[in-house]
Amino acid sequence: MKVEKTKKNSKKVIKKLFDLTGKVAIVTGAAGQLGGEYVRALLKAGASVSAFDIRLDNPKGRLKEIDSDKLLPVRVNITSRKSVEQGLRIVLSHFGKPHILINNAAIDVPPNASEHDTGPFETCSESSWKIMMDVNLKGIFLCCQVIGGYMAETGGGSIINISSIYGILSPDQRIYAYKEKPFFKPATYCVSKAGVLNLTRYLATYWSGKNIRVNTLTLGGVFNNQDKKFLKNYTNKVPLGRMARQDEYNGAILFLASDASSYMTGSNIIIDGGYSCW
Ligand SMILES: NC(=O)c1ccc[n+]([C@@H]2O[C@H](COP(=O)([O-])OP(=O)(O)OC[C@H]3O[C@@H](n4cnc5c(N)ncnc54)[C@H](O)[C@@H]3O)[C@@H](O)[C@H]2O)c1
């Protein structure tokens, strides 16, 4: 009898630790492969979720399949301050004050990208630099200014900025050497993802005393039916021997979004199957 009661109590304690009932979350890039996962995880934890994306019909996130009155999709271009402000106004009128902001939207250069974006460093185009910096850094900067600024003035919350192993390490270009034409993971993506880490630290200290926590979540590569040769080269570098499943970052998202991480700010959680251990 006593054991049963203790089990029930510990389940309650764990549920309470990660519970997001009554919280309002905004996820950018919510219609993408990982954004869609985060939306589902936050809804399951009890939050109301506003899904920001420039392309809400992106098939990767399967947002259309979610049947919940706690989901609010909003078309937002995070590179435009006006658009972010308009998005926040819609969230405020629908759900009220946001408590959680996940800066997830970004542009990457996948292995099948055009030569224009993936040529040698010396000839990498300025236009490719501009668009990646605009979305991957200016976009987070604007969302933090507008939405984070509002949160800081209205009681605080939790901001999660998404980075990549290529924000903390240089890519091993040999992974891509199986291709017929030379392919280089561009410096632009890596530099933009490195910038995320210090924007996080800057804001964690800037908003000190405002009850707002700002952390980075750094991710390793996610399986997405990549070329077999790429998979072999990449997974050879991963101690766990595989790429991540797309649901394997949800635990960290709920940890950072909830009171389970109440003493954490300015930090970086790395989840990469051990890629960065070498
Ligand atoms: N998938 C991976 O292997 C991987 C690995 C490490 C880090 N990450 C990071 O995780 C995050 C999500 O990656 P993903 O694979 O789900 O990407 P994705 O391409 O599937 O989704 C990105 C989403 O961002 C949206 N977006 C692009 N520009 C926008 C803009 N200006 N305004 C609003 N939305 C915009 C896109 O429409 C898309 O739905 C990114 O920050 C990425 O760098 C991904």
The mean pLDDT of 247-256, rounded to a whole number, is 98
Q: What is the mean pLDDT of residues 148-156?
A: 98
The residue whose CA has the least distance to atom 11 of ligand 1 is 104
Distance 177 CA to ligand 1 centre (A): 24
Ligand 1 centroid to residue 220 C-alpha, Å: 13
Q: Give 248-255's long-range contacts (Cβ < 8 A, gap of 24+).
A: 249/34, 249/37, 249/38, 249/217, 249/219, 250/37, 250/38, 250/40, 250/41, 252/217, 253/38, 253/41, 253/42, 253/102, 253/160, 253/217, 254/18, 254/20, 254/41, 254/42, 254/45, 255/18
> pTM, whole model, 2 decimals?
0.96
Q: Any idea what DSSP says for residue 222?
A: B
Tens-place pLDDT, residues 55-95: 999 999 999 999 999 999 999 999 999 999 999 999 999 99
**Are β-strands 157-164 and 268-271 bridged in parallel, bridged antiparallel, or unpaired?**
unpaired
Integer Cα distance of 178 and 185 in angstroms: 13
Strand order of the sheet with strand 157-164?
71-75, 48-53, 24-28, 100-103, 157-164, 212-219, 268-271
Residue 159: count of CB within 10 angstroms of its CB: 31
Report whether 102 contacts 148 (CB < 8 A).
Answer: no
What CA–CA distance (Å, rounded) separates 80 from 116? Answer: 25
Distance 82 CA to ligand 1 centre (A): 21
Distance 29 CA to ligand 1 centre (A): 6
Nearest CA to ligand 1 atom 13: 34
The pLDDT confidence band at residue 3, using thresholds 50, 70 and 90, is: low
Confidence of residue 179 (pLDDT cuts 50, 70, 90): confident
- Neighbour-count burial for 41-62, b at 16+ CB within 10 Å, e otherwise: bbbebebbbbbbbbebebebbe
229/245 Cα distance (integer angstroms): 18
pLDDT at 2 over 80: no
Q: CA-CA distances (angstroms) from residue 94 to 45, 48, 80, 103? A: 19, 10, 21, 20
Q: Using CA atoms, how far apart are residues 10 and 50, in angstroms rounded to an integer?
A: 31
The DSSP secondary-structure symbol of 243 reads P
β-pairing verdict for 100-103 and 157-164 = parallel
**Ligand 1 geometric centre to CA of 14 (Å):** 30
Rounded CA-CA distance 18/254 in Å is 6
Read off the tokens for 53: 């994306």
Determine the distance separating the centroid of ligand 1 and the alpha carbon of 105, expressed in angstroms.
Answer: 4
How many whole angstroms from 258 Cα to the centroid of ligand 1? 23
Pocket residues: Cβ below 6 A from ligand 1: 28-29, 31-35, 53-55, 58, 60, 76-79, 104-108, 135, 139, 162, 164, 219, 221-222
Rounded to the nearest angstrom, the gap between the alpha carbon of residue 128 and the centroid of all alpha carbons in its chain is 21
d(CA 38, CA 43): 9
Q: Going by CA atoms, what residue is nearest to atom 39 of ligand 1?
A: 32
If one residue of 26, 27, 28, 33 were mutated to test the ligand 1 pocket, choosing by the most ligand atoms within 8 A of its CB, it would be: 33
State yes or no: pLDDT of 28 exceeds 90.
yes
Q: What is the DSSP string of 119-148?
A: S-GGG--HHHHHHHHIIIIIHHHHHIIIII
SS3 224: coil
Angle, alpha carbons 74-78-84 (nearest 5°)? 60
What proportion of the chain, given as a percentage, has pLDDT over 70?
98
> Which mutation among 26, 28, 39, 53 tests ligand 1's pocket best, with the greatest number of atoms within 8 A of CB?
53
Ligand 1 atom closest to the Cα of residue 58 is 39
User: Six-digit token pair at 237?
Assistant: 């570098």
Q: Mean per-residue pLDDT for 121-134?
A: 91
Residue nearest to atom 7 of ligand 1 (CA): 164
Report how far ligand 1's centroid is from the alpha carbon of 70 (Å). Answer: 22
